[in-house]
């Protein structure tokens, strides 16, 4: 069974590593980026099925990705608290 591709937008390395460990342990294909700029570039390249967003990134609020992601494929953003 193929599970969802997930993009984790999180600037704290330890938190991102923990989230990735859990997701990959459950069989999900997950990647991480640490800024909105990198997330936007990744969304253009290959939109994931799910976004996990940090609200406090170095270059803004992860929620700022919602309008952009709403127009790409079937991505449904899910904010995570930080």
For the entire predicted model, the pTM comes to 0.78
Which tens digits make up the pLDDT trace of 16-47?
999 999 999 999 999 999 999 999 999 999 88
Which CATH number do you get for residue 69? 3.40.50.2300
Which tens digits make up the pLDDT trace of 57-77?
999 998 888 765 455 554 454
Any idea what DSSP says for residue 57? Answer: B
Task: Identify the residue with better confidence: 80 or 29.
Answer: 29
- With a CB cutoff of 8 Å and minimum separation 6, the contacts of 21 are none
Alpha helices (H) along 1-82: 13-25, 36-45, 66-70
Domain containing 61 equals: 5-80
Structure-block tokens of residue 27:
């069989």
How many domains does the structure of the chain reveal? 1
Is 42:7 a contact under the CB 8 Å cutoff? yes
Q: How far is Cα of residue 5 from the mean position of the Cα atoms in its chain? A: 10
What pLDDT, on a 0 to 100 scale, did the predictor assign at position 67?
65
């Amino acid at each position: 069974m193929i599970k969802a591709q997930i993009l984790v937008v999180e600037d704290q390395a330890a938190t991102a590593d923990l989230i990735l460990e859990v997701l990959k342990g459950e069989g999900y294909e997950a990647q991480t980026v640490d800024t909105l700029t990198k997330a936007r570039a990744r969304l253009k390249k290959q939109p994931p099925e799910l976004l996990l967003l940090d609200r406090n990134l170095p270059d803004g609020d992860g929620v700022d990705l919602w309008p952009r992601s709403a127009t790409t494929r079937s991505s449904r953003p899910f904010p995570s608290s930080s």
